[in-house]
Structures are given as structure tokens and as C-alpha cells.
Amino acid sequence: MRLRPFVFVSVYLLVGYCSALNPCAPRKFNQDSVVCVCNTTYCDDFEPIGVVPNSGVGAQFTSSRDGFRFMKTNITTTNSVPANAVILSFNPTVRHQKIFGFGGAITDAAGINLNSLPPDLADNVIKQYYSYPNGIGYSTARIPIASCDFSTHPYSYSDVDGDFNLTNFNLTTEDFTLKLPYLKKALTYTNSTVRFFGSPWSAPGWMKETGLMRGGGPLKGPVNGQYYQTWANYFVKFIQAYMNQGIQIWGVTLQNEPNTGRALDFPWQTMYWNASMQRDFLRDLLGPMLDQNFIWGVKKIILDDNRGNLPDWADTILADPNAAKFVDMIGVHWYEDETKPASNLNDTYYKHPGVPMLYTEACAGWEGDERYPLLGNWTRAEQYADDILTALNNYVTGWNDWNIVLDVPGGPNWVGNTVDSSIIVNANTSEYYKQPLFFAMGHFSRFVRPNAVRVNSQLASSNPSLEFASFVNPDNTRVTVILNKDDSNTYKLAVSDVTKTSVYYVIDVPPKSLTSLVV
């Protein structure tokens, strides 16, 4: 993208927004913080991380309600702790779960909005998400298998009633124009390392008891019957079709939010499963069929629903050794996290330590009276960071955002189920807005890399306003991500590696901020 000298796009100035060559072009709407505006002539970029492990020089990157966006400050070690500082220590020798990665979903709605931008600008969106270190380094992408609510209409890949051999199975226009082009761009920016996983919302209507994709209900017949066999083959056909287009599917979830399928009048596509049904389907049909057809071993992700289902859902499936051998991961959504305890995750880990957990979907603006984007809202970014830190500190291995791009109303969505997104497109002005949500995701995805390991960390004295987690990256850099939820107080922290005596990185963590410290 050709860049021109920086020009503010609104009368909203805060000195030191970003230390990058091309800083955030801030715009203030009616929220408590700003968006960074990108158009065909200008977009912000990020300072290089530039830290040599164990060199005594670290880097602090901070984003805040007051407008900082990955603001970089170089930090050198000191041998003393200031009187007003609190020690935050980490122990790189006490290791926990390996980090899988972070990403988002490339839906029909995302493709529609990207297609509404000039091509170079749309390409820059994918670049800023998936490149590293120039972007925020996403390493995963979720793909709806056929349609979901963030489509313009319900559709499947096999709409011929009674086609049990799926001879009429075909990808649709949506795949070729809205999903595949951007999945391929993501591949180019990750050196082909991005992991794609598919999730179905519903089987074709003719396979379901209701005869409809829209609404819930299970497939017809017994779990080992003809309809379930055809549905297992549907997964195979999808993976083969995407492979033929140059996209290797790393894994699949068995069903998006299977509990919503209890409601026959559910507003959009869904399908009912309980844990025992998933167990039998995976054990007898889907697991063997995927392993027989794909030599690289397509991963199988159970649940793909809220953590209130844990640990019971995992217990039911993993208690059967013949089903458990096909389970590679447990998928979790965040929509009950305010009411269901994080201890559900912790309990699941300790009962089934060999099966990693991955948050497969989350979005802001999904409930209440503001079910749409709030341009520049910091509270939603804080909610993301809070949830990610809680999940990681309870043995979750990664976290996936929902639609990577939506429009200003929060769609399109064929049933009006509008929500927020990390990037919002304004096609009328040929620009897009990087929300505080984008930087909340980036404080993890850019600095905590795939195959990093979470390590022990603790404060010398508790502070309910501070949340944090520490990691060791594959390149041996140490990363501590710190969320300050306090409305007005800046906290001085002396961050130390307990394996080194009297060596501290002293940093200031401003109010309503998110910091990634790399040393």
C-alpha cells in the first residue's frame, strides 16, 4: 500500500498515540476512546518488537482508553525496586499449557465487507491481521461450513433431497467470492502456517427432522443411520473441495453451538446434539471416516459451545476410549463467561490434561440494548482482554474472535443478529476502522506466539484492578500481558524473572490500559 505523510482525520489529538513510523490516525465517535482509520492513502503500522532475549533491554507496548495504540517504550533493567512499585514476578521454569494461537472467522459477511473496499485496502485488512511482525500475527481462521447467520441467506452444499451419496455436492458462489480469496491471502501472509478449521451450523434441511436448515432439531434417524453416515461424508466432501482450491483444513468442530438446536424455532441455522450423540457419531462415523480419507489427520474438536457445558460434556465423550482417541481439542465459546465460572475450564484441564481447550468464538455487542458496533469503545476491548487472560490462566490454549470484518451496522446478517467486530468497514467512504478490540486481540496474538508456553506469574501484593499472564515464546523472549482495569490510577510495576537475582524491568501501567512487556 502506498503511504503518504500522516494527516489527522479528526480534531482529536493525544500526544504520543503511537511511536510507529505511521501512527494511528485517530477518529473520535461518541465513545470513550478512538478508532484508527485506514483508507487508500494511509494506514498506521507498528513499531518492530526488536527484543533480544535476556539482553537486559525489553520493550513495553501499551494501548489505552486515552488513545495509545501499541505505544512502544524501551525498558532497561535495574537492580532496585522503586518505593512505590509492586513486584510482578514470573518463573520461566514452571510451565503450563502450550499456546495454540489466536485468530478470527472469515465468514460471508466478512467477505462481503472486504469486497466493498478497493482491492488494495481489502488486502491490507488481511495483511494487518495475519502478517507478523508487521501485523498482529493471527495464526488461525475459522470457516463456516456453508451458511451461518452472517450470510445473506441459508444455503448448503447439497440441496437435492435424498442424495445420500452426495453426488450433487458443490461449493457455492459464496465460497468462491467471499471466503476462499481471503483465506488464500491469509496463507500468503503466514507463510502457509495458518490453521483453518471449519464449523457447521446445520445440515441441509432434507437431512433434519424438521426439513429446514433454519431452526433446531437433530438429523433424521439413529446416530448410526443413513442420515448420520451421509452427514459424516458431508464433512469429507467439504474438506476435499477446499483442498482442491488450495486450502488444507486443519480441523473441524462437530457442530456450532449444539445446545441451541434444542429450540425448533431458533432464529437461524442450527442443529441439535447432546454429548452422547457427539460421542457416538465421532466414534462410529466421523472419526474413522476423516482418518481414512486424510493422511495429515484432520483434527476433531468437540463441544464448540459455552463453558457451562464443561466438564460434563468432555467427561461423557472422553470416558469412552474408542471415542476419546478421535478427540483432539475441546472448543469453547465465551457467551456464558459472565455467569459460568472459569473453574469449569480448570476442572476440565485437570480431568483431561491431554486434550487442549480452544476458544473458538467470541464477539462483543451480542447482548443487551447495544447489539451493534460501538466505534471506539474501550470497555468492550477490556472485556476481551479480561476474558482472554482468565481463559489462558485456566489452561485454555488460544482464543478466536468471530467475524474479522463487519459493516457499521454490524452485519450483514440475514436475521438481523448484528454484533461488533475488531475491524469495521465503511464502504461509503472507502475506509475501515481498527477498533480497540483489534488492539486487545493484538496484545496477545502479536506478542504471545504459537507454541509459546504459559509460565507461573504472581504479584507480591494483590490488586483487583490488575490481571496478567506470562509466557515464554519459542524464540525465548518472555512476555507478560497486563490489564489495568482501574479508572484513574497508574501502577508502577517491577517485573522480575525469579531465576535472576535483583533484576527488574520497571514500567508504568496507565489506567484503563493493556500492556505487553517483552524481555
Question: What is the set of domains in the chain, with CATH numbers?
Answer: 51-97+453-518 (2.60.40.1180), 100-443 (3.20.20.80)
Query: Amino acid identity of 288?
Result: P
Residue 424 vs residues 364, 409, 413, 432: alpha-carbon distances, Å = 13, 9, 14, 6
Cα 476 to Cα 28, 244, 452, 518: the distances in Å are 39, 38, 9, 10
Predicted confidence (pLDDT) per residue in 390-426, tens digit: 999 999 999 999 999 999 999 999 999 999 999 999 9
Q: Going along 23-167, which residue ranges are E strands?
A: 26-28, 34-38, 57-64, 71-76, 86-98, 101-105, 140-145
Q: From its phi and psi, is residue 211 left (phi > 0), alpha (psi between -120 and 50) or beta? A: left
- All three cell numbers of 82, joined, read 522503586
Rounded CA gap, 442 and 359, in Å? 16
pLDDT band at 10; cut points 50, 70, 90: very low
**Quick check: helix, strand or coil at residue 148?**
coil
Q: What's the start-to-end Cα distance of the chain, in Å?
A: 31
Is pLDDT at 14 greater than 60 in this prediction?
Answer: no
For 344-398, the pLDDT digits (tens) are: 999 999 999 999 999 999 999 999 999 999 999 999 999 999 999 999 999 999 9
d(CA 427, CA 444): 29
CA distances from 380 to 69, 363, 421 (A): 15, 9, 10
Among residues 167, 312, 296, 317, the alpha carbon closest in space to that of 243 is found at: 296
Q: What is the pLDDT of residues 289-322, one digit of tens each?
A: 999 999 889 999 999 999 999 999 999 999 999 9
Nearest to 364 by CA among 394, 334, 392: 334
Give the pLDDT confidence of 441-494 residue by residue, as tens digits: 999 999 999 999 999 999 999 999 999 999 999 999 999 999 999 999 999 999
Shortest CA distance to 123 belongs to which of 192, 186, 176, 45?
186
Confidence class of residue 12 from pLDDT cuts 50, 70 and 90?
A: very low
Cβ atoms of residues 278 and 315 within 8 Å: no
pLDDT at 46: 95
Which pairs from 119-122 meet CB under 8 Å and 24+ separation? 120/1, 120/40, 121/1, 121/38, 121/39, 121/40, 121/430, 121/431, 121/432, 122/182
Under the banding of pLDDT at 50, 70 and 90, the label for residue 18 is low
How much is the pLDDT for 48? 95
CA distance 130 to 190: 6
User: What pLDDT, on a 0 to 100 scale, did the predictor assign at position 191?
Assistant: 87
Give residue 295's pLDDT: 85
* Reported pTM: 0.95
**288/331 Cα distance (integer angstroms):** 20
Which residue numbers are catalytic? 257, 361
* CA separation for the pair 63, 334 (Å, rounded): 23
